[in-house]
Amino acid sequence: LGLLAAVLAAACEPAPAEPAPASPPSAEPAPPSPPSAEPAASTSARAPAPEAPPAPFTVGFVGDVCLSLLVAHHLDALRGGETPEGIARDYPFTHVGEELRAVDLLVGNLECVASLAGEVDTWHNPFRCAAAPEVMREAGFDLVSVANNHTLDFGRAGFDAMIRRLDEAKLPHFGQENMRGVPQPVTVREVAGRRLGFLAYYVLPNPPLDAVREAKGKVDLLFAFLHWGSEGETAPLLLQRRLARELIDAGVDVVVGTHAHVPQPVEWYQGKVVAYGLGNFVFSGMTHTERHRTGDMLLVDIAPDGGLAHRMARIRLEPDGAPRWVHGPEPIAPPPEGTSAALASLSP
């Protein structure tokens, strides 16, 4: 604890001066001074108003959002003017929409093709939904990653058509360069006067550390959104842990993972958080086990001084794949002092 010392100094009072002799009365009163042509200048300049401190804000991340199968069927019915029984206009985010829209910047993994273009692959993959861009934008999503193993299910034509649909719907996206095999520039969003950078990658055994370092020089905070690991596994691979540490050492502030379809632990490394797997957030056809029906939302709270706090909320998928809250955000406690890394499972 620092100690604050205050030093008090006593000033000496000067001795009173002898009174000056009175001036003799003037024979005639002095003429009045003429009015000034200009107003007298203020004796003290007005101090500039202090700058308002940066406002706190929150960045939220959710896992795999696949608006296909039964979810797509209900959305198509709503778009056609029908009202399926038990389906609201804000489906499938009916039970979580208020909390999603309260987040200052919401990011998710769009794990389906948001277009009906392109050729169906050899195993007739059903993971696509033409209504996805508008539905996610209206739900409060500000940025979606397209770097995953399903956005190319309908070939390059389907992928390119999806990117056009996202642009038409004014739903910002990132990670498309990674899927096209070209260098990825950092995606920058400004919130409360701070520049936030986002990079999205799909399965990278060799991390793009040079790209991370370059991106870090352009932003205040850098987030890496990775589609990685093994499906159905509740723990990260050793390769993932090594990759996460290399990214943080290169300048990433928060690492967020998807793809496992089940929640995975959170790890602290060098004071930074790695959320290895957020599980599913909307996914029809992924409700066959309790683990697959469970997902998380990571909230990163940025304080005015730039400090970070982390919270996690939990959802459970309904039988049709729509989310409903299990519990609200709970703090992610840092490891004990002096511990550089610790794994904490947030699974039931």
pLDDT tens column, 52-66 = 777 999 999 999 999
Cβ–Cβ under 8 Å, residues 100 and 329? no
Domain extent at residue 215: 57-344
Is the pLDDT assigned to residue 186 strictly greater than 50? yes
Closest CA to 113 of 180, 165, 170: 165
Distance CA 258, CA 288 (A): 19
- Residue 17: pLDDT over 80: no
3: DSSP letter: -
pLDDT tens digits, one per residue of 295-345:
999 999 999 999 999 999 999 999 999 999 999 999 998 887 756 566 665
- 175 HSE (CA, 13 A, CB side): 30
Per-residue pLDDT reduced to its tens digit, 64-118:
999 999 999 999 999 999 989 999 999 999 999 999 999 999 999 999 999 888 8
Secondary structure (H, E, C), 69-83? HHHHHHHHHHHCCCC
Would you say the C-alpha torsion 297, 301, 307, 312 has a positive or negative sign? negative
Residue-wise pLDDT for 215-237, tens only, equals: 999 999 999 999 999 999 999 99
CATH number of the domain at 168, please: 3.60.21
Phi, psi (degrees; rounded to nearest 5) at 39: -65, 145
- The CA distance from 211 to 213, in Å, is 5
Round to whole Å and give the CA distance between 67 and 84.
Answer: 16
Residue 8 pLDDT grade (very low, low, confident, very high; cuts 50, 70, 90) = very low
Number of domains observed in the structure of the chain: 1
The model's confidence at residue 256, banded by pLDDT at 50, 70 and 90, is very high
Strands laid side by side in the 254-258 sheet: 187-191, 194-202, 221-227, 254-258, 272-275, 266-269, 341-344
Terminal alpha carbon distance of the chain: 39
In a domain, 9, yes or no: no
How far is it, in rounded angstroms, from Cα 226 to Cα 217? 20
Tell me the pLDDT band of 19, cut-offs 50, 70 and 90.
very low
- Residue found under tokens 């100690």: 3
Residue 197 lies in a domain: yes
Bridge partner list, 294: 316
Residue percentage of the chain with pLDDT more than 90: 71
324 part of a folded domain: yes
With cut-offs at 50, 70 and 90, classify the pLDDT of residue 128.
confident
Residue at 190 is within a domain: yes
How many residues are there in the chain?
A: 348
In a domain, 25, yes or no: no
- Whether the Cβ atoms of residue 87 and residue 77 lie closer than 8 Å to each other: yes
45 pLDDT tier (thresholds 50, 70, 90):
low
Q: With respect to residue 192, please indicate whether it lies within any of the assigned structural domains.
A: yes
Q: State yes or no: pLDDT of 29 exceeds 80.
A: no
**Contact yes or no for 75/91 (Cβ under 8 A):** yes
Buried/exposed code over 66-103 (b: 16+ C-beta within 10 A; e: otherwise):
bbbbebbebbeebeeeeeeeebeeebbbbbbbebbeeb
Return the higher-pLDDT residue of 185 and 36. 185
pLDDT band of 121, cuts 50, 70, 90:
low
Q: What is the pLDDT of residues 264-291, one digit of tens each?
A: 999 999 999 999 999 999 999 889 999 9
- Exposed, middle or buried: residue 325 (CB in 10 Å: 0-12, 13-18, 19+)? middle
The reply to whether 286 falls in a domain is: yes
Q: CA–CA separation, 16 vs 188, rounded Å?
A: 69
Q: Residue 94: its pLDDT value, please?
A: 98
Residue 162 domain-assigned?
yes
pTM beyond 0.75, yes or no: yes
